Chains A and B, each alone.
Chain A
Amino acid sequence: MKNVSHDPEELARLEGLARAIRFELISISHRAQSAHLAGSLSCVDLLVALYWNRLRINPGQPGDPARDRLIFSKGHAISALYATLAKRGFFPGEELLQFNVEGGRLPEQPSPGCVPGVEWATGSLGHGLGVGLGMALASRIRRISYGVYVVMSDGECQEGSVWEAAMLAPRLGLGQLTVLVDFNKWQATARSNDVMAMEPLRAKWEAFGWETREIDGHNMGEITGALEAPRRSGVPLAIVAHTIKGRGVSFIEDDNNWHYRSPNAGEVEQARRELQIA
């Protein structure tokens, strides 16, 4: 992979992709009257950096045993992954019109293998990291080289199973494993740090034996930089990405009502202007 964290042109291209995907999420939520829009918007930049600049994948060969794997563990925000995969060429973009349409293959939370590129059916929080550990360990046992990336929510870090996995990964020396925590500071009903003692989140991963990096999860230079910087051999990496729930649309940003509500036609138009979509 080419290092792009200091390449303004490439970063601008990634930012443009992220804006387009954000507008896609607004449209999906409006059409399907679906929830979880804000948590989808918060992780878009992470997904764009991963899918366009990090993952060794070929949309034409989604089952390649040597592909990098991304487990999207915050399944409630799956529209962000669907839109990313469609834009990246895993399936036709028109199919996003079928989001949550009865009988379609894009459920509101993903089912196993629902569309090419979805590596795991998530939605119940706290599963993705353990599964990712298994995939990373399989890479060693089968002697096939690939990376495993797990995108998690901050609320998800309250699940005990996350820390079971976090305690084992360094012991197994799984250097091919990377966690990205979309730390948008909210969970379903409250500030995540008000519900449980989330902070200091980076120090928790560090204490569990992970190499850690802390970034602005909306700064494309920082995201790509954290992904491309050399890392310690045989040590899993946790990237704590500070994000804003609802990022990109002024009236959604940091307003947790948008964990549940969906935009009306007027709000879609305002979002279009703010995201500079023609």
Chain B
Amino acid sequence: MRNAFADEIFKLAGADERVVMLSADIGNRLFDKYKASYPGRFYNCGVAEANTVSLAAGLASCGLRPVCYTITPFITARCFEQIKVDICYHEMPVLIVGTGSGLSYASLGATHHSLDDLALMRSLPGMRVLAPADAMELRSCLRAALASDKPVYMRIGKKGEPVVFAEPPPFAFGKWTALSKGDAVHLLSTGNMLPVALEVAGSLAEKNRSAGVFSCASVKPLDEEVLRRVFGGDALVATIEEHGRVGGFGAAVAEWLADQPERPRARLLRFGTDDYYLHDAGEQEHARETYGISAGRITESVLRALETKR
């Protein structure tokens, strides 16, 4: 995903001379083409994320469109108050991009895991939160984010993730993309878990259970039209995210559900990471397995829930 980001931001910077890239010392060689073409609009702000964010807000207040880019925990949790005060309180059109989100950098340890960024960012008034599924959806999200004049946070993965979409899909804030229809369960997947959701759908199909799959890149705002539709039926609804169950995408859906005047019939399952930090070594798949959000573990849980339902 990050290569697609570098390529797309290069194109967008060519089309809009207000775009300014701020890296907090990340992206070794990734932005060489950008830097060579637009040297006056790329700044390595150093290992100093708080200042990177305040500086971005200052740029935005003078008519520019800055993009802050580094590893997710450092550009969200570490500088949360700068994002709150300088970007969101002032409603500055700054795009914050967290790379290596969720468990993408599992092997680097919990310092580099971001299982709280969706919770943090969506708690900020006026902040819009995006989690594209793959390199193609990332391009759509990035275009929409820079076309918007409001604060946006976008979490992206690392490199080499499976590409699901053949081309950048249509994207709008508050709209999700349906990939398949089903009548046993609706899988609402956000971010890089889409390939997992599709695998789950495949496994369920083998058991004669059909699953509808949605890519929910717009975490805030939610797609309320889709929510009303899926919760209005009898099928299970499952949220899938590489993020903590506290405060994340599934929690946002649960909040929406709790606020409905009529209690919907459908049951909600939330797949995300549990309330502990990982301590052992291992890659992303190992981490997902441990947290119970691998395709196999999710399939088991969904099948169990379907049995109970009957």
Contact = CB atoms under 8 A, between A and B. Distances in A.
Q: Which of under 10, 10 to 19, 20 to 34, or 35 or more describes the interface residues of B?
A: 20 to 34
A161 B82 contact: yes
Interface stretch (B55-63, B150-158, B296-304): B55-63
A165 B49 CA distance: 10
A120 interface: yes
A167 interface: yes
A130 B89 contact: no
Interface string A10-24: 000000000000000
A161 B62 contact: no
A232 to B, nearest CB: 22
Given A112-B89, A139-B62, A142-B62, A165 B81 contact: no
B43 interface: yes
Contacts of A133: 51, 54-55, 58
B81 A121 contact: no
Nearest to A122: B85
A134 B45 contact: no
Given A127-B85, A142-B63, A161-B82, A137 B43 contact: yes
Query: Interface majority SS on A: helix, strand, loop or mixed?
Result: helix
Given A121-B90, A130-B86, A161 B54 contact: yes
Given A121-B89, A124-B81, A127-B85, A137 B50 contact: no
A266 interface: no
A65 interface: yes
Contact of B46 (A132, A134, A138, A164): A164
A134 B55 contact: yes
A138 B64 contact: yes
16 contacts: A65-B63, A112-B90, A124-B85, A129-B54, A130-B50, A130-B53, A131-B54, A131-B57, A133-B54, A134-B54, A134-B56, A134-B66, A135-B61, A141-B41, A161-B51, A165-B54
A-B complex: 7 closest residue pairs judged by Cβ atoms: A134-B58, A130-B54, A138-B62, A164-B51, A164-B48, A131-B58, A134-B55
Interface of B: 20, 40-41, 43, 45-46, 48, 50-51, 53-64, 66, 81-82, 85-86, 89-91
